[in-house]
Amino acid sequence: MKEQSIEFTKKNQSVTYLVFSNEDASLVGYFTITIKPITVNAENFSNTMKRKIARVSELDEENGTYTLSAYLIAQLGKNFKDGANEKITGEQLLQAAIDTIKELQYMAGGMVIFLEAEDKEKLMHFYEDENGFKQFDVRETKCSDNDEIHKLVQLLKVM
């Protein structure tokens, strides 16, 4: 993961931010942000959400999908070494990523954030119920070490 983050940064594909504790300057977490195009089937979204997405996207009327550029939180993780994970909550780490995206939004525009997460009840509760993300698709990917199919839930949030 560290090597991949460095390579992506060198190629200007993404930027990884390190989060340090105010108490002792220890590394407590990290997140990676990039911009990617996404296609969203918004049929399950509210009309308000559809209108917001429509302002920054292109509608494919035939498929009923919107294509847009969005900020991707590509990685979000705590540092579990030496108990550093106890110094920050998942909520605080996600908020740090969202605050960084808000700064980027102020400078460059855009209004949609998305991320991918494993389809686990605790994660879905964290992103959807606690932080206002909405599921828009599921993506299948193969694990690099065993060729096993892995499903990732794609979620978005309009700022």
What is the rounded distance in angstroms from the CA atom of residue 44 to the CA atom of residue 142?
A: 27
Strands 15-20 vs 134-142: parallel, antiparallel or unpaired: unpaired
- Host H or E run for residue 123: helix 121-124
CATH code linked to domain 2-113: 3.40.630.30
Q: Residue 94 pLDDT more than 70? A: yes
pLDDT at 11: 63
- Host H or E run for residue 17: strand 15-20
Q: Which residue has the tokens 């949030």?
A: 157
DSSP-based three-state secondary structure for 60: strand
Rounded-to-10 torsion of CA 129, 143, 68, 107: 80
pLDDT tens, residue by residue, 37-73: 999 988 888 889 888 998 999 989 898 899 999 999 9
What pLDDT band is residue 119 in, cutting at 50, 70 and 90? very high
Nearest CA among 83, 71, 84 for reference residue 29: 84
* Region 111-129 average pLDDT: 95
Model pTM score: 0.87
